[in-house]
Structure formats: structure tokens, C-alpha cells
Structure 1
């Protein structure tokens, strides 16, 4: 049985409070704490931190907290509380930044179509806020697929600790490469050094091809994994130099 370490226990408690309290009080904190696109009126710089504690469903928070406990506990025992917390929030915030960068790149490519059609910023934001338009300047200039994509990018915020958890997964894989892992959807045990890169490659595939089932922020996963790898690799390489 994996021991529940101090920092992880408190992270799980905070996540549970942030999930269940709005349900009981019938409040919606999405516009305040979820991570929005910078062009969205609800965007706030603090959301790069707060979105890590927001979850969209009971299944979402359950899987993330299980991953935090199962893979984060050995890391906290190895690194200590402060070092683990630095790592966890660095991976989570880094995941949000990379997710924003990718979404902004996709958003800006379609946004230019509106600009080239003669619409100004206020007109574009008004159209995106409503999610529909009858503006004749856009007739033939933009496809329905492109319009749906930019509206979705504008309105859909990112929530969840998944980016930070992917950072934790990668760090676990670097520290314990031969540990055997098995998930519900693939119950055959596989060494962490093969299993975790496989998960990341699947996220990359789904993120690039958009074959994903459900609204999953694949590039947030990849971002968290990348930041987690850089930090964990650096620490592992230099741990005996201090």
C-alpha cells in the first residue's frame, strides 16, 4: 500500500473542496478559475494556477487524484515536500502555458480570416460571444468547420490537474523506469519506461489528428509531460553535484 504523503494529502483535500463546494452551493466558478483563451473576456492570469484545482466531473477528479497519489507519493518521499510542490505546480502551470500557445496558434489562424474579410476586433469578439453570425462579409470566406472550431476555442476553458499529473508520470518513469504499470483500459503490466512514453505519443496523435473522444486537452498533457521531463531530468542529472 502506497503511503499518502503530506503534500499530496493537502493537494487532494484542496481539489476535493474546489470540486464539491460549488456543487453543494450550486455555484459555477468556471468563469473565474478555469483557464480561458487570452482573447476571452473571462481570462485572468491567475487561471494558470487555479485551473489545476478545477475538474469537470467526478470521474475526472477521481482519475487525477488517483494518479497524484499513486505516482506522486514515491516522488515526494524521494524529493521532500517543498521540492515536490515546486515540481507539481511548475508542470501544471507549464502545461497551461503550452496549451494556451497551441490554442492561440490555432485560433489566430482562423481569426485572420475574419480580419481579411473586413471585420474589426469588436465585431469579431461579438460574433464569437454569440456563437453565430449572418454577416455577409464572411460568406464564402470561412467554412462551417472553421467557424465551429474558433467558437469552440474561444468558449471552451481548460480545467483539471491532468497536465501536472503527466509531469508527475514522466518524473516517476525517470526515477523508476522498470516499475510495472497496468491501467484499467490496458490491464497487462508494462514497464514505466515503455508505458508512459506510449501514453504521451497517444496524446500527441489525438491532439494532432483530433480523433479524440470527448473534450480532452491533449496538448496540456503533452505540455505537463515536457516540463516535468525537463525538471526531473535536470534534477536527476545534477543531484550529486550539490
Structure 2
């Protein structure tokens, strides 16, 4: 199975695995400059690292636990491989990284709000923003494809799965029922993925202008 995967999927799997091993060997303190820290966190006593520009992408190759890594890599295999075969590897990688970047932008906004309310600066890690973008893309390209949830094991159409996950993330983000999870980063990955697909398709808000309206000669 691994030999038949697109090279970009293999590369992402290996990169995430290697970075996770480095986290275990070097420890979180040494790897902190690669995590996503809020803007202005350098002035916060609770922060180990300030925000640095490369964190917008590097955080997406780090994970908080083996289970976190496992679920993200399974989703990358499940949704990413068909998309890479459909789009080609270069476009797929562009899409994935844009979703990771978009998730980071949304998380920076959340982190800035948290600190403005007196909260501590905390880092964000994980490829989940990119994975949620892949989930959205899969639902848009293959809306009627049936997929099986892991927990609970319920089959449903891909389009339905996207709607269910999107609404769940929105609810959990606003209610705070699942603290410690960057729900708005997940939504940011979906949002930026949706915008990029609309851009590629020439659809609003990036729609091409139609033919000029005829002038009426009086």
C-alpha cells in the first residue's frame, strides 16, 4: 500500500514522523521555537519562545502525542491520497500548506484575544488545520463518496461528514467544552481551503468578470 501512495503523501508522513521523534528525543523545550506562539508572547513570562515567522508552517509538523499524530496521519492517508491523485502533487502540496498557514492565522487571532483577556501565552502544534482543509476538499470534490467514521463507526456521505465536523468544531470552539484543542485553527484550515478551491475555480469572491454589458444607443 505504501509503495502506491503519491510521493508527496509519503514525504509528509515521513516528515511528521521524524519531527515527532525529534520531539521525544530533544524535548518540548528545545523544540519550542518551532511551535506556533501568539503574537507578542515574547513579553509574556509564561512563554518559552516568542512568535517567529517560520512557526506559521513548522507547527503543522509537530504533535502533542502519538494518538494526535496517528489520527492526523490516518486522515492524511484517507483524504490526501485521492486528492493528490486528482490534483497532482504540486497543487496538492500547495493546498495543504495554505490550509496549515490559514489555520495558523486564525489561531494567532485567538491567541491574541486570549492574551488580551489576561490569559497565558500557549503554543499550538499539529497538522490538524491542514487535515481539516483536506477533509473539506474531499467533501467538495467527492461529495457523494461514502466514508466511515472511526468514532463512532457510522458510514455517511463525504459532504455530510464535512458539515458534521464543521458544525461540531464551531460549537466546541464557542462553548469551550473541549479545552486544549485549537478548534478555530481547524475551522481556519477549512476556510482557507474553501477559499483556495474557489480561487482555482474562478468562483466568487474570486469570480472572473463576465462579458461587458451592452450599451443602449438612444
| Corresponding residue number in structure 2 for 1:58 | 66
Which of 177, 187, 193 is 1:222 aligned to?
187
Unaligned runs of 5+ in 1: 112-149
Retained in 2: the 8 A contact 1:174–1:233? no
| Corresponding residue number in structure 1 for 2:107 | 99
Q: How many angstroms apart in 2 are the aligned matches of 1:26 and 1:105?
A: 28
TM-score, normalising length from structure 2? 0.84
- Residues 1-242 of structure 1 aligned to structure 2 (within 5 Å): 3-26=4-27, 28-41=29-42, 42=49, 43-108=51-116, 110-111=117-118, 150-151=119-120, 154=121, 156-212=122-178, 214-236=179-201
Retained in 2: the 8 A contact 1:12–1:65? yes
Q: CA shift at 1:181, angstroms? A: 1.5
Unaligned runs of 5+ in 2: 43-48, 209-218
Retained in 1: the 8 A contact 2:23–2:31? no
Q: How many angstroms apart in 1 are the aligned matches of 2:128 and 2:32?
A: 19
Q: CA shift at 1:26, angstroms? A: 4.9
Retained in 1: the 8 A contact 2:39–2:111? no
Greater RCO (CA < 8 Å, at least 6 residues apart) = 1
Post-superposition, which runs of at least 4 consecutive aligned residues in structure 1 deviate over 3 A? 24-30
Deviations 1:137-195 (A, max 9, x none): xxxxxxxxxxxxx02xx1x2000000000001100100000111212212120001111
